Amino acid sequence: MRSKLFVPGSRPELFDKALASSADALSFDLEDAVAESKKESARLTLAEWMASPAACETKKCVIVRVNAMDTRFFEQDIAQVVRAGLDMINIPKPDSAEAVCQAIKLIEQAERQNSVNEDGQTPIKVLLNVETPKALRTAYELASAHPRVAGLQLGLADLFEPIAVSRKELFAVQYAMMEMKMAAAEAGVAAFDAAYADIKNADGFKHEAGFAARLGYTGKTCIHPSQVVMANEAFRPSDEAIAHALRVVEAATQAEADGVGAYVVDGKMIDPPFLRSAQALVANAKSMGLIP
């Protein structure tokens, strides 16, 4: 999921356009992008669209960002949007591991009520936003709260603005990114980079996405279609990296047969950590269709 394109839940005229984009995932937003007076109508409109053939048949990852658990909209959001074709629920501002488990119980209840996953489909996963100081501090506990948690997503605007940290401060951005990546890695879940609000600053987006890719993030949130191509490129492994990883994996077979623990490929010493990295890169490239 290199690119995740946000789509306001109150803008149904954009739904099919987003579906036709090159984004790997679509995140339909019922939270910040929808005015309070339109939240109920947006929820119903989105639920209706999700039942359409186009939505049900898409290969894209379909995500819905619901309203926060402490709002009056949360439970109805879950009840309406949990249906066949939904891959993930994105939960903003999770307060604790216990709250995450409570939210997942509601998702499971909605799955039963809406006859979701009756045919052995993959259960709906959860993507948790890290956008408060507490969430950043307790990110591992949130990520490991339940097997349905598939990843953490950084929200820098919500994290920084209330505490007067500049979004332009490179140290602050990189500190938060590294902290969350380590928590996600410990929990064994994916890490997704934050949105980049300066739509016209393509160089800034590319720089931030490239840094996230080097940290091992899975992908980046896009708030405009123009950012999708840049995100896809940033999180695509290079042909050189793929070729090297394939050589590492191939050499590992011979090294194992020879009883060798470390060996050299392309002038670099390879031992188990590098082999695991190469295997992960090969698997990722295969999922993108870059390797047959």
DSSP string, 2-45: -EEEEEETT-GGGHHHHHTSS-SEEEEESSTTS-GGGHHHHHHH
CB atoms within 10 A of CB 94: 29
- pTM for the model: 0.88
Q: What is the 3-state secondary structure (H, E, C) of 180-243?
A: HHHHHHHHCCEEEECCCCCCCCHHHHHHHHHHHHHCCCCEEEECCCHHHHHHHHHCCCCHHHHH
* pLDDT score of 120: 62
* pLDDT score of 84: 85
- The type of residue at 82 is V
* pLDDT score of 280: 85
Assigned token pair, 2: 């290199």
Pair 90, 63: CB distance under 8 Å: yes
DSSP bridge pairs for 186: none
- The type of residue at 258 is D
Strand runs labelled E in 57-107: 61-65, 88-91
The separation between CA 193 and the C-alpha centre of its own chain, rounded to angstroms, equals 8
Pair 80, 47: CB distance under 8 Å: yes
Span(s) in the chain for CATH 3.20.20.60? 3-234
Report the CATH fold assignment for 3-234.
TIM Barrel (3.20.20)
Pair 107, 128: CB distance under 8 Å: no
* pLDDT score of 214: 94
Residue 34: partners with Cβ closer than 8 Å, 6 or more residues away:
8, 9, 10, 42
* Parts of the chain with a pLDDT under 50: none
Quick: pLDDT tens for 88-108.
999 999 999 999 999 999 999
What dihedral angle (degrees, nearest 10) is formed by the CA atoms of 214, 220, 224, 228?
Answer: 70
Residue 275, phi then psi, degrees to nearest 5 = -65, -45
- The type of residue at 94 is P
* pLDDT score of 292: 80
